[in-house]
Amino acid sequence: MRVIFAGGGTGGHINPALSVANYMKSQDSEFEALFIGTQRGLEKKLVPQAGYNIEYIDIVGFDRRNLLKNVSVLKKLSQSRKRCREIIKRFNPDAVVCTGGYVSGPVAMAAHKLKIPSIIHEQNVYPGLTVKGSVNYVDYVAVSFEETINFIKKKGKCVVTGNPVRQEIINSDYKKAREELGVGDKPLVLIFGGSLGAAKINENVTEILKKLSDDNKVSVIFGTGERNFEEISKKISGVSLREDIKVLPYINNMHLAMAAADLVVSRSGAITLSEIAVLSKPSVLIPSPNVVRNHQEQNAREFENHGAAVVICENELTPDVLYSKINELVSKPDKLLDMGKKAKKLSNPDALGDIYKTILRAIEKN
């Protein structure tokens, strides 16, 4: 089977596509994949790193604040649709799989024009603009939450599949991951603000690194995001930190870091939460306030309501609050274990199989 994948910008759109591609490869010995993305997004790095080919288009998202800028956006959209049709004709796929982000729009339109079976996957409770706009062009909309169907016009196209979690995450092992990372006996706190980083989280974590190091109670892996790494490195250049307090621009081996962690401190994007859940990890969630319909807080509150996480909104976040919460939780291993078990109940380990079946159904339908 030959499949084109489209999704870009952040890891939240790219990693689901990579997860589905890897799963399909494991199911079909003749499977071939081609990705479509932009030169500006993380797909430029992550897709080749995963061993897949990628073609690039020049597309940007709509600007909701400055409508005049959208004249050039519409021009790029028209040019991108033409470019996508050329790519699709050349690769001749059996299906097209879109995972959101503005890259998905022109790809879904081009696939529809060429009568290629297609699906689009929505990770969050509230669907993004691209997913809502692509409903007319795809065969199925794979959603992660039942509630999402309420926001989709063509409800008959919706299939509840859950969020895909990478097989390397699902198959990872706590003890083996800690051995491979060289983690000792202390609790490991994994901190990151998403694939691009988060300024507010970075600012507060930077303030408490010295305390955490001096306390010598926990090990830390802190992913700053590449765009913030240089600035944070300067801030802590004169600070003496223990060797097990690691500050990284990007966590390339996230499957190991997540598996080895005793506590995760992160944003509450849907894919991150799916990985946290499938690995039974307790978490401190700091939702991004800069998202449509505040969907990250909705996601986080669901985990909190089930006793699987503690939520700290950005307007409540201070170095002292974060430091106290981390210390409080790591001092209660039984509570961490209980939170992890409750997180596990929110996972859907069969999501990849369900998405694969939906792709096959789209092909059979056509």
Per-residue pLDDT tens digits for 213-244: 999 999 999 999 988 899 999 999 989 999 99
pLDDT tens for each residue of 112-159:
999 999 999 999 888 888 899 999 999 999 998 888 899 999 999 999
* Distance in angstroms (rounded) separating the CA atoms of residues 114 and 119: 14
Mean pLDDT (the chain, rounded): 91
pLDDT at 18: 94
pTM for the model stands at: 0.78
User: 101 and 78 in contact (C-beta within 8 Å)?
Assistant: no
Phi, psi torsion values for 120, nearest 5 degrees:
-130, 140
Number of Cβ within 10 Å of residue 142's Cβ equals 31
Which domains does the chain carry?
A: 2-164+350-365 (3.40.50.2000), 169-344 (3.40.50.2000)
Does residue 10 carry a pLDDT above 90? no
**Which residues are CB-neighbours of 320 under 8 A, at least 6 positions away?**
none
Number of Cβ within 10 Å of residue 228's Cβ equals 20
Does residue 78 carry a pLDDT above 80? no
Percent of the chain with pLDDT strictly greater than 90: 72
Local confidence band at 363 (pLDDT 50, 70, 90 cut-offs): very high
Give the residue-averaged pLDDT of 169-173: 92
Q: In terms of Cα–Cα distance, which of 32, 5, 271 is closest to 118?
A: 5
